[in-house]
Amino acid sequence: MRRLPPIPTLLVALAVAAMLALGVWQLQRRHEKNAALALYAANRMQPTITLEGGDRDPALLFRHARTACLSVTGWARQGGRGTRGTKGWRQIATCRTHIGAQLAVDMGVTTNVGFQPHWPGGMVSGTITQLPDHRPLIAAMLDPAPRALMLVSDRAAPGLEPSAPPDLSSVPNNHLAYAVQWFLFAGVAIIIYVLALRLRARAATQPSPSAGG
């Protein structure tokens, strides 16, 4: 049997091993995501808690909470949707709580991009979600720390429509599809390499044009 070319074989083996490892990792992530979705569904039935600000625990997502916004230190805008289906700009207040921490609170949606909210703060209750992440995808992937939490208020500030509360269906759970893709990539790489070796062996066994004299 003709020896396999060492360097190409090593490179292909490393690539296939990496693809298989990524597929297994996606299966593990699918198991973790299913457990998280079950927790989120249970959170929606739990009693209301108090959110102080500075929280990052993803186990609190989709739970109903309240907070006391002593003052608003700033506003931010983010695309979103209202409870009536209105698409516009969510008005996110940065609130100072009684422990001195900051907490983002989604106070509603408007279609007016230039709208300036006039809400000084107060008691707020709503559903816990994560603060929108504006970082590039690579930067977010390299940072394993959970994102800060945000409260989506049940009642809107004056002049706004309440934002649609977080929806479990918006949580992506496509890890099984990614795992299948990685396994398929590994299989295709093996097939292509085997075909390349056969073509190489066939070319080596064919006589050269000058061999017949």
Q: Which residues pair with 19 in a beta bridge?
A: none
Give, for all 213 residues of the chain, the pLDDT tens digit. Answer: 467 888 899 999 999 999 999 999 999 999 999 999 999 999 999 999 999 888 889 999 999 999 999 999 999 999 999 999 999 999 999 999 988 899 999 999 999 988 999 999 999 999 999 988 765 656 555 566 778 899 999 999 999 999 999 999 888 889 999 999 999 999 999 999 999 988 888 877 776 665 554
Q: Checking phi first, is residue 104 left (phi over 0); if not, alpha (psi -120 to 50) or beta?
A: beta
Q: Exposed/middle/buried for 103, CB within 10 Å: 0-12, 13-18, 19+? A: buried
Q: Exposed/middle/buried for 48, CB within 10 Å: 0-12, 13-18, 19+? A: exposed
pTM tops 0.85, yes or no: no
Q: Hey, what are 34's tokens?
A: 């299913």
From CA 76, how far away is CA 100, in angstroms rounded?
20
